[in-house]
Amino acid sequence: MLSDLLPAIALFERVAHHGSFTRAGAELGVSPSALSQSLRMLEAKLGVRLLERSTRHVRPTEAGRRFLDEARPGLSTLASAVEGLDESRHRPAGLLRLNVSQSAVKSVLQPHLAAFADAFPDIVVELHCDNALLDLVAGGFDAGIRLGENLTEGVVAVPLGPRQRLATVAAPSYLAGRKPPRTPDDLREHRCIQVRLQSGIYRWEYAHKGRDFAIETHGPIVTNDGAAMMAALMAGVGIACPIEAMVADEMAAGNLVPLLKAWWPSFPGYYLYHSTRVNVPRKLREFIDFMTARCNG
């Protein structure tokens, strides 16, 4: 029975991952109607409804979510076993699924993806961009990239580049006609672009003469998305507090003005992390070696 159900279970996991028959079908090379029919047959054999379907959304039912939680580790193990066959190939190949923060895409991955694609044309890199910390195994990911201070215990972590700093910057259009802040306390008199974390609104951190402290700021924009923060910053909405690497090019070009630089705090930089020290797939080993050579060389 399991051998009959396994293909459909794998299809169900992909549909649940994408929340869409169309996107899952595009990845798998299967039509949405064929996917829908396969999953209806799976539901009929299991005797339980796995998906809630509407004209706009496809999402697992409560029973479907429980089933996925238990099935995904097994699917991941099977995928690893199949991909382990890559060890006998001349060139590494396969799908490399990475869970990365939005800031890591721009700061760490973007400068190196083209070179990696040239060096390893048979490896397909899938980027799942999410600021939330997701379980790698449960999500079917090979690895993740996060700031060191956000890593959980028990993972294997490899540094990618040096320590980072939190910058304070503004567009020239915002500063025109305004007195720039001279100390972090002056930010209370300015419009600041707020960032919402899982724990609440971020309080901007600073360090000066051995003292670390945080400032509560206020402004007309609150977002949990790095791209939205950058758009508001470049449009002159207010002052922002991004990671320095995210805005280094814009500062160098004069499109952003650094503020309060003497107070910028440093913190552990980005790390590539994965869940195991043994049986690391060749595609992941190659990616780790490639990124560490380029980021830490």
The 10s digit of each residue's pLDDT in 221-237 is 999 888 899 999 999 99
Whether 49 and 122 map to the same domain: the answer is: no
Mean pLDDT of the chain: 88
Find the helix or strand (DSSP H, E) in which 270 lies.
Answer: strand 270-274
DSSP state of 202: P
Q: 144, 136 in Cβ contact below 8 A?
A: yes
Alpha carbon distances (Å) from 70 to 10, 75, 139, 143, 222? 13, 10, 11, 20, 37
Kindly indicate the confidence band of residue 75, based on its pLDDT and cuts at 50, 70 and 90: confident
Q: What is the pLDDT of residue 77?
A: 78
Does 83 reside within a domain? Answer: no
Q: Which of 205, 190, 209 is nearest to 241 (CA)?
A: 205
Distance in angstroms (rounded) separating the CA atoms of residues 142 and 164: 25
Whether 181 and 256 map to the same domain: the answer is: yes
Q: What is the CATH number of the domain that holds 16?
A: 1.10.10.10
Rounded mean pLDDT, 68-96: 76
> What tokens were used for 121?
């044309």
Rounded mean pLDDT, 91-113: 88
Whether 47 and 179 map to the same domain: the answer is: no
- CB count within 10 Å of CB 99 equals 24
Find the helix or strand (DSSP H, E) in which 182 lies.
Answer: none
Kindly indicate the confidence band of residue 18, based on its pLDDT and cuts at 50, 70 and 90: confident
Which of 16, 38, 73 corresponds to the end of one domain?
A: 73
Q: What is the CATH number of the domain that holds 274?
A: 3.40.190.10
Find the helix or strand (DSSP H, E) in which 10 lies.
Answer: helix 2-18
Rounded mean pLDDT, 259-275: 92
Calculated CA dihedral for residues 101, 104, 105, 110, nearest 10 degrees: -170
Does 86 reside within a domain? Answer: no
- Does residue 246 carry a pLDDT above 60? yes
Query: Which one is predicted more confidently, 279 or 143?
Result: 143
Task: Find the range with the poorest average confidence among 70-79, 132-141, 206-215, 223-232.
Answer: 132-141
For residue range 132-151, list pLDDT tens digits in order: 655 676 677 889 998 887 77
Total structural domains within the chain: 3
| CA dihedral (213, 218, 220, 222) positive or negative | positive
Q: What is the pLDDT of residue 79?
A: 72
Does 55 reside within a domain? Answer: yes
Whether 253 and 229 map to the same domain: the answer is: yes
Q: What is the pLDDT of residue 85?
A: 63
Rounded mean pLDDT, 2-9: 82
Does 84 reside within a domain? Answer: no
Does 81 reside within a domain? Answer: no
Q: What is the CATH number of the domain that holds 189?
A: 3.40.190.290
Distance in angstroms (rounded) separating the CA atoms of residues 76 and 145: 19
For residue range 40-61, list pLDDT tens digits in order: 999 999 999 999 987 777 899 9
Whether 217 and 259 map to the same domain: the answer is: yes
Whether 255 and 175 map to the same domain: the answer is: yes
Rounded mean pLDDT, 268-280: 82
Does 118 reside within a domain? Answer: yes
Task: Name the amino acid, one letter, at 223.
Answer: T
* Residues forming beta bridges with residue 37, ordered by sequence position: none
Q: What is the pLDDT of residue 284?
A: 92
Does 149 reside within a domain? Answer: yes
Q: What percent of the chain is modeled with pLDDT above 70? A: 92
Whether 120 and 42 map to the same domain: the answer is: no
> What tokens were used for 171?
């567009």
Distance in angstroms (rounded) separating the CA atoms of residues 156 and 59: 32
122 CB contacts (<8 Å, ≥6 apart)?
Answer: 91, 92, 93, 94
Whether 150 and 5 map to the same domain: the answer is: no
Task: Name the residue range of residue 36's domain.
Answer: 1-73
Rounded mean pLDDT, 183-193: 97
Q: Which of 108, 124, 117, 102 is nearest to 164 (CA)?
A: 108
Whether 156 and 291 map to the same domain: the answer is: yes
Whether 159 and 275 map to the same domain: the answer is: yes
- Does residue 125 carry a pLDDT above 80? yes
- Does residue 199 carry a pLDDT above 90? no
Which of helix, strand or coil describes residue 288? helix
Rounded mean pLDDT, 94-110: 88
Kindly give the pairing relationship between strand 123-129 and strand 94-100.
Answer: parallel
- Does residue 238 carry a pLDDT above 70? yes
Strands (E), 198-269: 200-201, 204-208, 211-215, 221-223, 257-258, 266-267
Whether 123 and 3 map to the same domain: the answer is: no
Which of 45, 73, 101 corresponds to the end of one domain?
A: 73
Whether 44 and 96 map to the same domain: the answer is: no
Find the helix or strand (DSSP H, E) in which 94 lies.
Answer: strand 94-100
Phi, psi angle pair for 130, to nearest 5°:
-155, 130
Does 172 reside within a domain? Answer: yes
